[in-house]
Amino acid sequence: MATSTTKTSLEAIPLLKGRENYSSWSKQIESHLKASNAWEILSGRWRKPTEPLYFEAPIRPQDLIDDHRARRQQEEEAIADDNEATPLPHYAPLTLKEAKEELEYIKTHIEQWNRWNKTERTAINDINSRISNTCKEELGSLDDLKSIWERLKILYVESTCGTWVKELNALFKLKGGRRTGEDPDEWMRKIITTGRGIVDNLGDINMDILLAYLLTVDLGEDITATTTETYRQPKWPTVDSIRTSISEEYQSKLNAGKTKPTASARPDNEDPKLNLTTPSSTGRKRSGTRLSSPSKRQNNDGEKRGRQAWPKCPICERRHPIKKEGECYVAQPETAPAPWREKNQDKIEAFKKKSQ
């Protein structure tokens, strides 16, 4: 009856067709593997035993004593004609008591090896029975359980930053979305289910990924190149590298006096597969403080204004964006990003001479 039940549960799992159904398939096959203890191998809790010296244990303790003596003779013959070989340690024949104890150990070792080997082989066969022929071809000739499982995950899990953005957007969309009077237990269930889904699909989230997500996803129309490139990375760049790239791109826009990019330049519109949720795609504007790039705006007469729209700085007497009173990169270069200081060294030196 137990065999019939196992077979039925395995046959109920649909064939893996690829990326389209990997997420649901992997959860079902994981449940099946846990029932057979094979999941303990994948999780690393059940480690592969060392291969035993004997395929089958000797029948009698005396057989083990004889075999032990024969091995010693082979070792002695192997170094007999080698003058530089290290001498073998003194040989002490196994006693009958030692042979009995050793024989019990050998039998236990072989039993552990066979149980582990059978569990792994059964799991491999079960996985192969629930994947399509196309997936088998893409999987190749791997023959150990861990390698097969990891290879399937690499093949069919989208691991680009864009996918992380899509998954995290699903979580952050829940923020502020609780309906009035909604059962707190139901609300918590939504949050936990969504979060666990992220872990199941992409692995454990860490603070670096969360910080990188927050750095890139909420930039609105201020940044395009850095955001677009980050979304397509196979793994998140470091937080410092993202911050530097954002600062350099923004400062280059300031220095060049370029306009803000339009919403059509956002990555979610460039690449429909990412299906990203960003402020520009939802039509909602962010609240709070934001960097203001020198985009050209329409005045009341319909005429475009660019650099002339910037206020005149009372410190350096140049026109540039001023976020707060008294802030001036020319007069206080130590507060400016390194790329800006390098590009505007002549202005900084000129201001110093003028101030002296």
Between CA 203 and CA 180 the distance in angstroms is: 33
For residues 122 and 224, which has the higher predicted lDDT (pLDDT)? 122
Question: Residues near 110 by Cβ (< 8 Å), separated by ≥ 6?
Answer: 52, 54, 55, 56, 57
pLDDT band at residue 282 using 50, 70 and 90 as cut-offs = very low
- Cα angle, residue 109 at apex, residues 107 and 110 outer, rounded to 5°: 65
Residue extents of the structural domains in the chain: 2-79+90-156, 161-282, 310-355
In the predicted structure, residue 307 carries a pLDDT above the cut 60: no
109-113, 165-169, 340-344: which range is least confident on average? Answer: 340-344
Rounded distance between C-alpha atoms, residue 34 and residue 41, angstroms: 10
Any idea which of 46-50, 244-248, 262-266 has the lowest mean pLDDT? 262-266
Q: How far is CA 64 from CA 89, 275, 300, in A?
A: 20, 67, 101
Q: Would you say the pTM of this structure is higher than 0.85?
A: no
Q: What's the confidence (pLDDT) of residue 220?
A: 65
Residue 305, strand partner residues: 297
Mean pLDDT throughout 271-275? Answer: 47
Determine the pLDDT at residue 38. 94
Single-letter amino acid, residue 151: R
Q: What DSSP state is assigned to residue 264?
A: G
pLDDT (mean) for 98-123: 92
DSSP state of 319: B
Residue that the structure tokens 């979580």 belong to = 171
> Is residue 328 scored above 90 in pLDDT?
no
Half-sphere exposure of 332 (CA within 13 A, CB side): 8
Answer whether residue 169 shows pLDDT above 80.
yes
Per-residue pLDDT at 204 exceeds 80: no
